[in-house]
Structure 1
Amino acid sequence: MMGPRKCEVCEESQSKYKCPSCLIPYCSLACFKKHKETPCTKPEPITEEKIETPCTKPEPLTVENVDSGSIIRKPCYVDEASEVLQKSKLQSIASSSEIRDSIKDEKLQKLIQNIDSSANPEYELDKAMEDDEFRFLTEKILSTIGS
């Protein structure tokens, strides 16, 4: 898991945010304004280091929306292609009644949404792992996909 990132504008403080255009980490409004003094663009989705793969995210996170196909797509960046789950493993997760029942819990939905929408998802994931139900869910998912 990656640790906290340093602000790429002042290079002093820990970043709390990411530029919505180019995704560089920054720590404050002052650094964001300084960064925006020069135009920035979205990073290239496919580079040697990063591989883009389509991700799906239910809005809101409910089993019913996943079943109905009411999903949105957003880019997902990974360091290695091996980090991307194959469709068969995703289907195994989706077909597990134990996992499906778990994600009906509003508390778990909130934890997952906090991770997904966070500027620092690694931190939110670490916090969520302190919750017994969330830890059980992650262990069940990992055992389902054989990790």
Structure 2
Amino acid sequence: MKCLECSDDTRKYKCPRCNNFCCSFECFKKHKDVDCTPAKTENEEKCQKTENVKKTILQFTTEDTVDPEKLEQLGNSEALKDLLRNPHLREFIRAVDSSENARKAMRYAMLEPLFIEFADECLKIVEPEETTNT
């Protein structure tokens, strides 16, 4: 990395806000006056994406639209993550998603016990009151 101010190859001073380097104290002082943004960690970026999902305004909702909070719960479900480690299940999901006839593909997938287990786990999160009554 080069110095933020003069592009020298020396790396002596690190900015605590953006984690970039300056070659000398003079360059560091110059950079200190600049409004630099801190480098985001991977965890901070993940949190930002979660916040964006929460702020999403759905323009065309239907009775089948899943609330963003429920989508977040699906994404955080350890049971679903465990099921999705199975490559056979992932292949079924890919096939349904890329099928030209989604209805036919879904009927076929619903014959597979592993896919049914996955669908049931999703429904436990998305529609918990309906799945507990059956």
Q: Give 1 or 2: higher helix fraction.
A: 2
The alignment's TM-score, normalised by the length of structure 2, stands at 0.49
Which one has the bigger strand percentage? Answer: 1
The structure with higher relative contact order (CA 8 Å, sep 6+) is: 1
TM-score, normalisation: structure 1: 0.45
Could you say which structure has the larger radius of gyration? 2
